[in-house]
Amino acid sequence: MTDAYDFSDRIERVAPSATLAISNLAAEKEAEGADIVDLSVGEPDFDTPDNIVEAGKEALDAGHTGYTSSNGIPPLKEAIAEKLRGTGVDADADEVIVTPGGKQALYETFQTLIDEGDEVVLLDPAWVSYEAMTKLAGGDLSRVDLAPHGFQLEPALDELTETVSDDTELLVVNSPSNPTGAVFSEAALEGVRDLAVDHDISVISDEIYERIVYDAEHVSLASLDGMSDRTITVNGFSKAYSMTGWRLGYIHAKGDFVGEAGKLHSHSVSCAVNFVQHAGVEALSNTDESVEEMRQAFAKRRDLLVDLFDEHGVDVDVGDGAFYMMIPVDDSEVQGTSDASGDEPRADDQAWCEAAIEEASVACVPGSAFNAPGYARISYAASAERLREAVDRLVANDLL
């Protein structure tokens, strides 16, 4: 039967999210009774802190169930602006749009800034949705590879300098980084600032992992001299407060940005969920202790994983933030590394990840999803016991 739909070029340019695809596959296998150690999706394994849950329930009981003003409820926009001022960003409540998740905040930003053929620069390995969002907006990608530099930006500044030009419209910075966990140094961010100012480039600073840092300090890009009115700061509640399913995030930017992006926001989602926004106020004002407990738990798990990989001779570039680690993988032990048709050799990391889930029942995301072939991304948002189990299974199946 011929498909009656004539799909847009825009939608045909992109593939489904690879991170979500692997976790869906893991969930399907579990539903069939398999015991999968799922280290694929980037989702904290903690419950949302009680005070936030209570605030959400109270907001429901108080009848906060209708639409809110499109850009968000005033107390939440004010709390976000105050939080940003705390990290040195010049912010007012009316410069904020509250979104259903950081992903929507990013989507609106790409749609607001990128025209057909505009150049968007990514720092690889880059989170999977930046590429898709660029393509959905019609932009063209240029990429700078941080992998040869231990995933750090500072040693790659020369390459970034060669890549950007007056034709560059947008640069995306994500520190702490998904998928590497790298936290970029202040000097690196100053390098970005110099280039952005020289070439009049807008910069997205995706700071969704800012509260999950270990032996480094997080710097908000918009706090640097010269960056205030060219940075779009994107953040969300999913990771810091373990609120992935609540869907809450935000954009902050100066000038006309909020007015322009607000058009798309109002025509697409109308507003973020009302009672969730009330819970967000509580998260920002009263949750430091729980955030710290989760941060310390992630730090211990990271150290455990590094030790376990070290025992098995796997050398990793250890990040100082988020809850991800990229491990180098190859398919030398994996049989049959071409696809069923036999003519398309798969990237080695894809074959490795397939063997990891099929043979070892461990789910990881192929580095190719982040434009980093030869690696697999491990999300260590899992208990110490499950992390040990994962490494044991990979070793038992000759995958490490």
Residues near ligand GLU (CB under 6 A) are 17, 19-20, 41-42, 103, 127-129, 178
17 touches, from ligand PMP, ligand GLU, none (C-beta below 5 to 8 Å by class): ligand GLU
Give the nearest distance from C-beta 99 to ligand PMP in angstroms: 8
Q: What is the DSSP letter of 214?
A: S
206 touches, from ligand GLU, ligand PMP, none (C-beta below 5 to 8 Å by class): ligand PMP
CA nearest to 72, candidates 287, 284, 282, 266? 266
The C-alpha atoms of residue 270 and residue 104 are separated, in whole angstroms, by 12
41 touches, from ligand PMP, ligand GLU, none (C-beta below 5 to 8 Å by class): ligand GLU
Helix (H) or strand (E) holding 204: strand 202-206
Q: How many residues bind ligand PMP, per CB under 6 A? A: 13
Q: Map residues 106-135 to x or -, x wherever contact with ligand PMP holds by CB under 6 A.
A: ---------------------x--------
Continuous H helices in 87-230: 102-113, 128-137, 157-163, 186-199
Only one of the segments 74-82, 96-104, 218-226, 258-266 lies at the binding site for ligand PMP (rule: CB under 6 A); that segment is: 96-104
20 touches, from ligand PMP, ligand GLU, none (C-beta below 5 to 8 Å by class): ligand GLU
Tokens, residue 121:
């620069």
CA nearest to 126, candidates 339, 318, 364, 375? 375
Q: What is the DSSP letter of 211?
A: T
The C-alpha atoms of residue 252 and residue 214 are separated, in whole angstroms, by 25
Q: Which single residue brings its beta carbon nearest to ligand GLU?
A: 42
Give the nearest distance from C-beta 305 to ligand PMP in angstroms: 18
The C-alpha atoms of residue 49 and residue 241 are separated, in whole angstroms, by 7
Give the nearest distance from C-beta 163 to ligand GLU in angstroms: 24
Q: Is position 178 an interface residue for ligand PMP (rule: CB under 6 A)?
A: yes
Give the nearest distance from C-beta 254 to ligand PMP in angstroms: 21
Q: Is position 42 an interface residue for ligand PMP (rule: CB under 6 A)?
A: yes
Give the footprint of ligand PMP on residues 215-244 (CB under 6 A): 236, 238, 244
Phi, then psi, of 147 in degrees rounded to 5: -55, -45
Chain centroid to Cα 167, Å, comes to: 26
Q: How far is CA 114 from CA 8, 110, 133, 164, 261, in A?
A: 18, 6, 10, 16, 12
Minimum CB distance to ligand GLU smaller for 56 or for 102: 102
102 touches, from ligand GLU, ligand PMP, none (C-beta below 5 to 8 Å by class): ligand PMP
Q: What is the DSSP letter of 120?
A: E
Q: Is position 174 an interface residue for ligand PMP (rule: CB under 6 A)?
A: yes
The C-alpha atoms of residue 193 and residue 256 are separated, in whole angstroms, by 21
Give the nearest distance from C-beta 256 to ligand PMP in angstroms: 24
CB 301 within 8 A of CB 387: yes
Minimum CB distance to ligand GLU smaller for 20 or for 264: 20
CB 181 within 8 A of CB 212: no
Give the nearest distance from C-beta 377 to ligand PMP in angstroms: 11
Minimum CB distance to ligand PMP smaller for 147 or for 365: 365
The C-alpha atoms of residue 148 and residue 325 are separated, in whole angstroms, by 15
Residues lying near ligand PMP in the complex (CB under 6 A): 42, 101-103, 127, 174, 178, 206, 208, 236, 238, 244, 249
